[in-house]
Amino acid sequence: MTHLAAAIQMTSGSDKAANLEKAEHLIRLAAARGAKLVALPEVFNWRGKRAEEAAAAERLDGATLTLMAGIARELEIHLLPGSITEHVPGETRRYNTSVLIGPQGDRLGVYRKIHLFDVDLPGRVTVKESDVKMPGAEVVTAATKIGTVGLSVCYDVRFPELYRRLAFAGARILTIPSAFTFPTGEAHWDVLIRARAIENQCYVIAPAQVGANVHGFSDYGNSMMVDPWGRVIARASDQEGVVIAPIDMEYLERVRRELPSLAHARLR
């Protein structure tokens, strides 16, 4: 059976209300075009200075996901609100959390980003995501009528062992909400997204942030959907917007039958 899915591309800033208004508009646009699974980028609801992050963080039952659940229920869609910065009571650090919401507004899967990006290049750049974020530990899939979804976030895409575990757990669709910077995006985004689709014979939905951001550099955009053969079936322009493509499970099963590489895997 075939269903339409959508990847939404955004430029999110520090005005949470404006981000949510924009996200809702784009979700409704995707649903009006027939999408039954809609995915937003990483940290879609708020991107701001690190000093302001604690105040912007929310619990899973906070305003952002409550709004998203209501929209999913109204539109009767599966909705992946990219990721949010999740407040954890009693902790000084937070999670980068991706939640899949079902058509009844219920949480079908909650994934906390496992791989955190830390780099120190003297005289160039220092980024320590682990200073403010905690790593998750659980590999998460969620069964839906469209297909089983395997959840991940951005930097996870560089760790193929996560996606192989998702595939062996039954995933047919992999979601990778992201905020890739321009230099690494230009060099690696396409090949990593396509590789995760090819090696796991899954559809990949990779919605991304685009354009100049509040941190003073540019995000690569190029939100993509890729089929199990590795073909790019949808790609966003360099603007905010929506791209839509079909998810065809009969095609996926045919790819797996005709090239049964998952069945031949010796290491698990």
Q: Which residues are catalytic?
A: 42, 113, 154
Cβ 101 vs Cβ 79: under 8 Å: yes
- Beta strands of the chain (E only): which ranges? 2-9, 35-39, 78-80, 84-86, 95-101, 107-112, 118-121, 125-128, 141-142, 149-151, 173-175, 203-206, 210-212, 218-220, 224-226, 232-235, 241-248
Q: Which two tokens stand for residue 203?
A: 């559809």
* Cα dihedral across residues 236, 105, 67, 163: positive or negative: negative
Question: Angle 63-75/16-32 helices, nearest 10 degrees?
Answer: 10
Structure-token pair, residue 80: 């992946």
C-alpha distances in Å from residue 169, one per residue of 17, 60, 179: 37, 25, 26
Q: Which of 108, 114, 118 is nearest to 163 (CA)?
A: 114
Residue at 58: amino acid letter:
E
Q: Which two tokens stand for residue 206?
A: 């990779």
